[in-house]
Every structure is written in C-alpha cells, then in structure tokens.
C-alpha cells in the first residue's frame, strides 16, 4: 500500500531524521537545558547571593587596606545601615594574624570571614647602614 501520491515521490527518497529521532533529541535537549537554566537563574537572582558577593567585596577591601598600610590594629566599623566589619589583629613577634569578618547588622554569625598570617621582619639594621 502506497501512502504517498505520485506527486510526493520526492518525499519518500529524502534522507534525514525521522519523527521519533527528532522527538528523542528534543527531549534530551529539554531535559538538560531546563534544569541548567533554572539553576543558573536561581544563582543569578537569589538576593542572598548578592549579599554574599557584596560582603566578600567589603572583606577583601578591608584586608587589602590593612596589608598595604601596615595598620595592624583591632577595629570595628559600620558600613551603611547594613554591614558591620570586624577586624582582629594578633601579633606574635614577627607573625601577624589578621581576621576580617563581615556581619549583617543584627546577625551573630559572619557572612564572610577572611584570615591571613604574615611574617614581617624588622629591617632596622639595614635602614641604619644607609
């Protein structure tokens, strides 16, 4: 039994993907892309992530300022109405331990905590020779 009329003879000779193959490919594509797009959308638009990114920027800025200026003191400061930044410096001879923690104003636990340990040698003898 011939399903196609003579005028459709070109259709029988065409090679390509069948309907089943196309549907399988489409279902695989949707099953991979849909969860990936949902996950990326959640990560990009979650307000908690925006707060964390901002807190990381604040902590990094304070840590860099402290290391560049050799300003090794304990301090706590407020940044706007939202953030509290607590810097703790501990010294053991040449070893300096710096902790920077960023809190939301009323939170007990920090959102971000940076820690570094550096050794600073005093070069007073070299300075006296010059």
Per-residue pLDDT 10s for the chain (130 aa) are: 566 566 666 566 667 778 888 999 999 989 988 888 888 887 777 777 788 888 999 999 999 988 888 778 898 989 888 899 999 999 888 889 999 999 988 888 998 999 999 888 765 554 455 4
Nearest residue to 95 (alpha-carbon basis) of 72, 68, 118, 67: 118
Whether 45 and 53 have beta carbons less than 8 Å apart is answered as no
Its CATH class, for the domain covering 47-129, is alpha beta
Q: Give the pLDDT confidence score for residue 102 in this predicted structure.
A: 94
């Amino acid at each position: 039994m011939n399903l196609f009329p003579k005028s459709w003879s070109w259709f029988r000779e065409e090679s390509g993907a069948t309907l089943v193959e196309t549907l399988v490919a489409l279902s695989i594509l949707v099953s991979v892309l849909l969860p990936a797009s949902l996950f990326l959308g959640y990560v990009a638009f979650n307000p908690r992530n925006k707060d964390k990114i901002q807190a990381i920027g604040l902590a990094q800025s304070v840590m860099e300022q402290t290391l560049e200026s050799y300003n090794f003191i304990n301090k706590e400061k407020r940044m706007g109405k939202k953030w509290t930044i607590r810097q703790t410096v501990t010294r053991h001879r040449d070893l300096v331990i710096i902790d920077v923690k960023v809190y939301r104003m009323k939170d007990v636990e920090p959102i971000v905590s940076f820690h570094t340990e550096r050794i600073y040698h005093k070069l007073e003898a070299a300075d006296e020779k010059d």
